[in-house]
Structure 1
C-alpha cells in the first residue's frame, strides 16, 4: 500500500511541476577546470570563509588548509597531529576536522579521532610571524566523536553554541551554549525526540538587543506511530540570547526560553507535505522583521521543495500561539519571553516551558502560499543572493545543489525561473557544502577532494547577442556595447529585462519575429552548408541546442517539422532521400518573442554511385537514432 502511495505522489509531483513552464534549466553549463583547487580531503570537507576575504579554510583529515580565493592555490597548511619540538609531526594521526568557526580572537578548530574530540585555536599571523595553533583542549559537546554523527555550531555575540552528542554512541545530542561570556546552558532532554540539527542563526535587533533570539532549525522523529505518517517532522526552535538558565532549585543551567514550532511546507488541500528539512538560508535585512528564511525540504517520495518564511511571522507564532496540550491560563511573564534575569523567572512560567514547549500553531510560508519551488530532483544545499538590476530593483537568486550540479534560480513575483545549471564532473564526488560570497561574486563548493569556485555571474554564457543576454533573465548581467557583461552598480548602464525576458528592448534586431506561422518570414543569415547525397539513402541534419526553454523547428519547402531532440542536439532525420528531399533546410529556435535561425543546410543530388563518407555517417547515425527513438516509445 505504501509503495502505491509513493508512486502516486511521485506522479503527482511530476504533473505538478510540469504545469509550470521554465521548471527546466534554460542553459546547461560546465564547471571550468581552472576554477578548482585540489586537496586530499578523505571524504570529509569543512569550509570556513568570511565574505569579502581572500582566505578560505578547508578542514580535512589531519589538516586545515588556507586557500587563496584569488590565486586559487593552497597557501598554507596546519597539522592537527601532535607536535614534535617546533615542527609539526608528519606521522599520520586520526583526526578529522569537524569544526572551523571564527570565535573570540582566533579561528576555533575541532576534530575527532573517534575517542576524544579535541579543539584548538588557530591564531592569525602577527607581524613578521606565521600563524600558530594553540595546545588542544577537550571538544566534548562541541565536536562529535565520528564524522557521521550530527553536528552544528554557531558563534554569536561572544558565545559559542553547538549541538553534538556527549557520548561516543551518539546519545545526549542537544543544542547547548558551550563557551563564552555567558553561562553554559543546555536543553531539557524531553523537548526533542531523536533530533537532527541542521542550522542555527543569531537574529540581531539593533533597537532591542535584549530581545535577540537564537533560532535553531532541526528535524526530529515523529511521535505519531501511524504507518502512513512521515517518520520525521521539521521544526524551528528559539532561545533568548540573554537566557542563562533558571534558578538553582529549578532549571538551573537549562534554557528557560526554549519553544519549538512545526515548519509547514506543502499543499494542505492535497494533504501533501515535505517533512524532511535539509538546509536553511537566512537572508539579511536592515530591519530584522524584513528578514526572510529560505528552507529546503525533501520528502519520502524523493522530491524537493523550497518554502520561504518571514521572520516576523515566525516571531508572531512564538509570541501569540497557544501551547500544545496546555489548557490553563498562560502565566506572566509569558513562557519563552526574554527577560533581564532568567534566574528569577517564576515556577509557573518555567513549568509551561518544561512540559508544553511546542506551539499549537504551525509556521506557514509567506502569505500562506504553496511551496515557492517543487522539483523531482533531490537537492541538498541552498544559498540565496540579493542582486540589484539595472532598474535598481532587488532580485533574489537561489543556488540549489544536488550531488553534482548547481541550479541558479531567479525568484520573481513568487515564481521560480531556472536560469542555468552548472555540472560538476563526477570524479569530484558529491557536494558536501556550499558558501556564498556576494562581494566576490563566487559560490564556494566543497567536495571530498576539491574546492570548486562557481562564478555567480557567468555573463559570457549569454554573449551571442543582445537577445541572448536579455532572454537569460539573469539580474547579474546586462547587454552593453562590449557585450553581455556583469552589471556595474556604479554606472547603471546596459539592457536588461529580468521580469519578462522580452527582447523588444534590443534595438536593430534582424532576426526577430512574433510567430513562425505569420507572414513575417525570416531570411536566414547564417552560413549555409551544402551536402551532396544519393537517392534512397538515410541522412540526418543536426542543429545545436543552446536554450532548453526554446522550441526548435526545421523548415524545408515551406513545411515545418519538429526535431528529434536530446540534451544538446536537434536532429532532422530523412529515412530515405527522395527527389523532394533536396533543397534548403533551416533550423530555427523560438523563445518568448524571439526567433533566430541557428543552422542552414542545402542538399543537392550526387551524380555518381559512390556514397561519401558524410552520407555513410549520416546513414549510420540516422539508423541508430531511429532505433533508439523506437525503443523509447
Structure 2
C-alpha cells in the first residue's frame, strides 16, 4: 500500500506538468522541434541582483556587468579583471573610445568616463559628468542610452517619481538637445539605434522605439500604443528666439503588428533588435510585442519602410499646406529653419499613416510563449546562403532558436538555461556564435553550434534545419562548405545524393523509407486480463508517432516527453510485436520495439521499481487515472 500511495503522488506531479503551457504539443508548428538542457559556461554572482544588464565588447572579449556594482570580466573564462566601483549602475556604453558609466549615486545621478591605463587592468576615471537625464535617480525606473560619434543620447526621468522622461542628447561634442513636453504621454522607452548612411552622413538619423499611453480611453482600447520616432544626428535645436535646445526634427509614427483585417493588434512593444546592413535601406528592425490576451508576436520592419512614412505621410491634426523644407528634414543648420517648419514639429509631430511590417497582413511569428528578449544572428550555411536566426528568451529561463526562411518561422529547438529565474538581458557574439545571457543570479554563455544534438544520422541533421550545422564525414558538425544541408524545407533526399550520408552506417533509400537501426526489442511476459502500457521517447515534436502491431496502427498518447500506447486489458489479440515509429517529412524510423508474450501465472507487480520507460503492469485504478489523463490531454491540446 505504501508503494501504491508513493506512485500515485508521483503521477500527480507528472500530470500537473503535462498541462503546463511550456510542454510542447506533438505536431504543432508553434512548438520547438527539440528540447535540450542548457549545459553552458556560467559566472555565478555572490549575491542575487535585482537589476542586471551588461555591455559586451566583442573586439576586446570583455564583459562589463552592471548592477549594484560594476565588474569587468574576461568573456572567455569569466575571470574577474576588475571590481571597479560600488554604485547602482544603470548605464555603461563605449564613449569616445573609452567606457561611459552612469549610476544613481544616492539619488544624485552621476557619470564617469573610464579610460584603460593598461590593457586588462584597472580603468582610470578620466572625467565626471552630471548624470541627470542620463541615469535615473532610482534604478528600477525606465531608462535608455546610446552613443553616436562621441555624443551620448539618453532617456531617463529627472525626478524620484519617474516623471519628466524624455529622449535627450546630453553629453559629447554637439549641443545638448531635448524634447518638447507634449510630444509623449507617459512613455516606456525600449531601444534606440543609429542607422549609418555611408554615402550621406548628414542625413543620418537616430531611431527611438517606445510605447506610450493611449489617448483613447475607451473600454475596447489598449492602454498602450507602440511607436517609432526619429531625430536627425545633425540637429542642433532651434534659434535663440524659438525652440532653442529643442529637437527641430522629431517625428513619431505608430508601429503596427497584428491582423489589420480583423482589427486585432499586438500593441505592447517589449524588445527591439536592429540588424544593420551596408545599404541602410536593407536595415531591418525585429520587434517583439505582447498583447492583452497573453500572446506574443514578432513583426519585422525595414528602415526604408519607416522612412517612407516619415517622408510622405501627412501630419496628424495639421490641415494646411506642408511648409518647405518639410518638417523633420535633416539640414546642416537647424537653427536657421523657418518658424513654419518648426511649428509643425512642435504641434503636430505624429504621422497619420502607420508603419506596417514586411508581412503586413499578419505578424511573422505568433506564439503563446511569453517572450521577453530578442536578438537575431546572420548565419552563412553550408550552401553559402545567408539565413537569419531569431533567438527568443522566455520568462521561464528558456531560449528558442527560430529560423526565418521566407515568410514562415521554424522553431529549431528550445534550450533550458535556468529553472529558477527569468532572463534579464541577452547579447549576441556573432563572431563566436554564442549568446551571453544575464539572470539575477548568474551570467551564462550559450553555444549556438550544438550540432551534436542532431548527430544520429544525416537525416536527423538535415531535419533540424539548423543553419549553424551540416552533415559531414565527421557527423553533424558546425557548418562548413560542402556539408549536407537542406535549410529551405528539411527534406532528407539530399542525404542519398552524397556518399557522406553513409558514414555512420545509415543506408538512405527512397522517399518514405524506414530507417531501422539495430534495436533489440524489449521482451515482457504479461498475464492475461491486466492493464498494460508501452512507452517510447519523443525525439522531435514535429514528427508523427505511430504504434504498429501486426496490421494495426494507432497514434500515440503524449505524456510529457513520451508517447504511450495503453492496453486496458491484455487479451490474446494484444500479444506479439510492437513498434514505435516516428515520421517527419520524408523520413521514418523505428524508435522502440517490444515483444509481449503471455505469462501463465499472474505475479505481483513491483511498484517500487516503477519507471515510465520500463512499461510495467499497473494497478487497475492507477492505469485508469493514466488513461483518462492522457485522453483528456489529447482533447485539450
C-alpha distance in 2, partners of 1:30/1:75?
Answer: 30
- Say what the alpha-carbon RMSD is for the aligned residues: 2.3
C-alpha distance in 2, partners of 1:340/1:109?
Answer: 31
Quote the offset at 1:369 in angstroms: 3.7
8 Å contact from structure 1 (residues 324, 359) kept in 2: yes
1:466 aligned partner:
458
Counterparts of 1:418-457 in structure 2, within 5 Å, are 418-427=411-420, 429-457=421-449
Runs of 5+ in structure 2 lacking a partner? 1-20, 497-501, 611-615
2:594 aligned partner:
601
Counterparts of 1:110-509 in structure 2, within 5 Å, are 110-126=102-118, 130-133=122-125, 137-366=129-358, 368-403=360-395, 404-427=397-420, 429-488=421-480, 492-507=481-496, 509=506
Counterparts of 1:70-85 in structure 2, within 5 Å, are 70-80=76-86
Q: Is 1:530 the equivalent of 2:531? A: no
1:86 aligned partner:
none
Q: Is 1:56 the equivalent of 2:55? A: no
C-alpha distance in 1, partners of 2:116/2:202?
Answer: 32
SS in 2 for 1:380: strand
8 Å contact from structure 1 (residues 470, 497) kept in 2: yes
Distance 1:289 1:562, change over 3 A: same
8 Å contact from structure 1 (residues 113, 146) kept in 2: no
C-alpha distance in 2, partners of 1:524/1:485?
Answer: 21
8 Å contact from structure 2 (residues 82, 121) kept in 1: no
1:6 aligned partner:
none
1:3 aligned partner:
none
1:619 aligned partner:
618
Quote the offset at 1:225 in angstroms: 2.1
C-alpha distance in 1, partners of 2:53/2:253?
Answer: 29
1:87 aligned partner:
none
8 Å contact from structure 2 (residues 42, 442) kept in 1: no
C-alpha distance in 2, partners of 1:589/1:129?
Answer: 56
8 Å contact from structure 1 (residues 37, 73) kept in 2: no
2:574 aligned partner:
581
Quote the offset at 1:575 in angstroms: 2.2
SS in 2 for 1:397: strand
C-alpha distance in 1, partners of 2:566/2:487?
Answer: 37
8 Å contact from structure 2 (residues 383, 482) kept in 1: no
Distance 1:350 1:523, change over 3 A: closer
Quote the offset at 1:206 in angstroms: 0.3
SS in 2 for 1:49: strand
Distance 1:332 1:571, change over 3 A: same
8 Å contact from structure 1 (residues 512, 596) kept in 2: no
Distance 1:530 1:129, change over 3 A: closer
C-alpha distance in 2, partners of 1:512/1:573?
Answer: 33
| CA displacement 1:136-188 (0-9 Å, x = unmatched) | 54311111111221100000111000000111111210100000000000000
Which piece of structure 1 moves more, 615-624 or 285-294?
615-624
8 Å contact from structure 2 (residues 260, 361) kept in 1: no
Q: TM-score, normalised by structure 1?
A: 0.89
8 Å contact from structure 2 (residues 550, 577) kept in 1: yes
C-alpha distance in 2, partners of 1:37/1:477?
Answer: 30
C-alpha distance in 2, partners of 1:618/1:132?
Answer: 71
| CA displacement 1:199-238 (0-9 Å, x = unmatched) | 0000100000000000001111111122211111111111
Distance 1:205 1:154, change over 3 A: same
C-alpha distance in 1, partners of 2:267/2:239?
Answer: 37
Distance 1:239 1:135, change over 3 A: closer
8 Å contact from structure 1 (residues 445, 451) kept in 2: yes
2:558 aligned partner:
565
Distance 1:453 1:618, change over 3 A: farther
Q: TM-score, normalised by structure 2?
A: 0.89
SS in 2 for 1:177: strand
Distance 1:314 1:33, change over 3 A: closer
SS in 1 for 2:182: coil
C-alpha distance in 2, partners of 1:630/1:128?
Answer: 60
8 Å contact from structure 2 (residues 605, 618) kept in 1: no
1:92 aligned partner:
none
Distance 1:128 1:463, change over 3 A: closer
Quote the offset at 1:438 in angstroms: 0.6
Q: How many residues align?
A: 594
Quote the offset at 1:133 in angstroms: 4.1
Distance 1:512 1:579, change over 3 A: farther
C-alpha distance in 1, partners of 2:626/2:559?
Answer: 10
C-alpha distance in 1, partners of 2:50/2:405?
Answer: 37
| CA displacement 1:569-610 (0-9 Å, x = unmatched) | 111122222222221111100000000000111122234443
Distance 1:42 1:521, change over 3 A: closer
8 Å contact from structure 2 (residues 93, 147) kept in 1: yes
Quote the offset at 1:473 in angstroms: 0.5
2:15 aligned partner:
none
Distance 1:262 1:523, change over 3 A: closer
SS in 1 for 2:525: strand
Quote the offset at 1:310 in angstroms: 1.2
Please point out which of 92, 96, 103 is paired with 1:100.
Answer: 92
8 Å contact from structure 2 (residues 81, 121) kept in 1: no
